[in-house]
Amino acid sequence: MTRVFASLIAHETHGFNRFPTTIEDFKRYGYAVDDEVRQGLQGDSGWGGLFEVAQEFDWEVVHPLSAFCMPSGPATNETFESMWSIAERSLLQDGPFDAVLWFLHGGMMCEGVDDPEGEVIRRTRKIVGSSVPVAVWLDIHANVSPEMVSLADIICGFHTTPHIDLNDTAIRAARLLQRTLAGEISPVTYSVHPPVLAGIDHGRTTDPDAPIPRMLQRAEEFQESDPALLDVSFFSGFPFCDTAVTGASAIVVSDGLHDACEALAEEFGDEIWASRDQVTIDFVTMDEAVDRTESDSDKVGPYLIGDFSDTPHGGGYGDAPNFLRTLIRREVPGAVFGPMWDPGVVDDALAAGPGADIEVELGGHSDPTHGGAPIETRAHVVSVSQTGDFVHKGPFSEGVPGSMGPSARLNVDGVDVIVVKQPDAIYDREQLRLFGIEPEAMNVLVFKAYNHMRADFEPICRGLVYADSGGIFNFEFARFDYSKIRRPIWPLDQIDQAEGETFRAHTNY
């Protein structure tokens, strides 16, 4: 029987978020060991795809760890080492393994480890040796390091943003592993990393003219004439990681060393460069966003606004109140805002209960210079949830149980505000229904969210726009004090492609 090691360590780190990420944060969001991994296996998570392939080919999968955490500041060294030690013990004691599949995000930063994902693969390779194929599953927002590429046989990244193909990505990787074990293929991964800090429309795939859908189409055509092409992935990079390998990249997996596939990787690298300033979404000021909701009021459904720069899904603090201030000042009717991270206000709301009025100093506690000072007012508690538990029904994380934790719905000067005890984003209609809000019936939805909310909300909304409230998930990169990223790099440096360094790598261990 084929014996496969698989584990997940996934964190998207905002290098300029001042709160370090600890093992307790992972345990609060999505941490499972051994049998718990299989018990928690529901919906689109990556694990489902692996187990589907495992069943088909009669694999025995050893899965010591699945650790996911909401984006936040750099992980402490202890956190990284405690997760690695669980994987290491299993790699040493539960083997020998025929193959390895690592589920990694690719956008992690850790105090004391420059390239955490590269380090995981390097340490894994050291234990399993050179004869065991290693596949890596990555988020589309990964900063792929040349070392990861040189040490892995197979790298497969998501093909969608919003990310709705986590299981499918695992199936791609696992099938390639199976074909490798069967002796059908000898996978070689090629990568090209042009000097682009954030590329390919930040990974979006909702517009067919965006770079990723175009390149996927090109890969399909290539594969028809050259079956040596096994798989492709494109990574936007996660620009808030201050590391030497931060940036966009293209990956091509071929059957053996293959010049045409290497050339295809080069072509995709050039395409990442050529499309570097193509953006398929609208960014406006907060007041312009409110203006748009008014001018489009004859259409059906709510207007969706991304308070993107404060979204915890990108490492924002999730407590910037400036957009709420704008909604109150503009007296926007039927507006929902959130989720606002404010543990003190949640505690007060839960203690007071529905129907009560409470004095609040809402939000703005993490860093008032990024999104405003607290709003001092009297709020009405509409409803509360002790657990915040729900199950995703939209396409993003469909079927996966979620939790907003203890949380409440407040009426704050005429605006419905969801307040939470831990930073969170809204991306599923169930998160509003939990509080008795029917999203379809509302006028304006302002969420601390970026891309993922589109999967479930865009079909019911009359419009979509993004506005910057001053948070740290902000694309004016010049405001960040980078020290480790390679320079020059676009757009921090207005350079030609040849002026910056393009990294290239291929499987070579």
| Contacts to Zn ion by CB under 5 A | 139, 141
CB 127 within 8 A of CB 103: no
H helices, E strands: number in the chain: 14, 22
- What does each C-alpha distance from 264 to 299, 376, 444 come to in angstroms? 45, 57, 44
CB 117 within 8 A of CB 217: no
The rounded distance, in Å, linking the Cα atoms of 478 and 475 is 9
The rounded distance, in Å, linking the Cα atoms of 341 and 419 is 6
CB 380 within 8 A of CB 357: yes
Q: Whole-number minimum distance, CB 374 to Zn ion, in Å?
A: 30
Q: Whole-number minimum distance, CB 108 to Zn ion, in Å?
A: 12
Q: Whole-number minimum distance, CB 46 to Zn ion, in Å?
A: 13
Residue placing its CB nearer to Zn ion in the complex, 159 or 506: 159
Residue placing its CB nearer to Zn ion in the complex, 141 or 276: 141
User: 154 has which bridge partners?
Assistant: 135
Residue placing its CB nearer to Zn ion in the complex, 313 or 409: 313
The rounded distance, in Å, linking the Cα atoms of 326 and 85 is 48
The rounded distance, in Å, linking the Cα atoms of 88 and 34 is 13
Name residue 362's amino acid: L
Q: Whole-number minimum distance, CB 452 to Zn ion, in Å?
A: 8
Q: Whole-number minimum distance, CB 340 to Zn ion, in Å?
A: 23
Q: Whole-number minimum distance, CB 11 to Zn ion, in Å?
A: 11
Q: Whole-number minimum distance, CB 396 to Zn ion, in Å?
A: 11
Residue placing its CB nearer to Zn ion in the complex, 139 or 153: 139
The rounded distance, in Å, linking the Cα atoms of 261 and 507 is 13
Q: Report the SS3 class of residue 29.
A: helix
Residue placing its CB nearer to Zn ion in the complex, 211 or 302: 211
Residue placing its CB nearer to Zn ion in the complex, 207 or 291: 207
CA 455 to chain centre: 14
Q: Whole-number minimum distance, CB 204 to Zn ion, in Å?
A: 10
The rounded distance, in Å, linking the Cα atoms of 455 and 436 is 21
Q: Report the SS3 class of residue 110.
A: strand
Residue placing its CB nearer to Zn ion in the complex, 155 or 412: 155
CB 400 within 8 A of CB 365: no
The rounded distance, in Å, linking the Cα atoms of 253 and 237 is 19
Q: Whole-number minimum distance, CB 143 to Zn ion, in Å?
A: 11
Give the residue at shortest CB distance from Zn ion.
141
Residue placing its CB nearer to Zn ion in the complex, 141 or 325: 141
Residue placing its CB nearer to Zn ion in the complex, 143 or 385: 143
The rounded distance, in Å, linking the Cα atoms of 449 and 461 is 15
Examine residue 187 and say whether the peptide bond preceding it is cis (omega within 30 degrees of 0). no
Residue carrying the six token digits 């007012």: 377
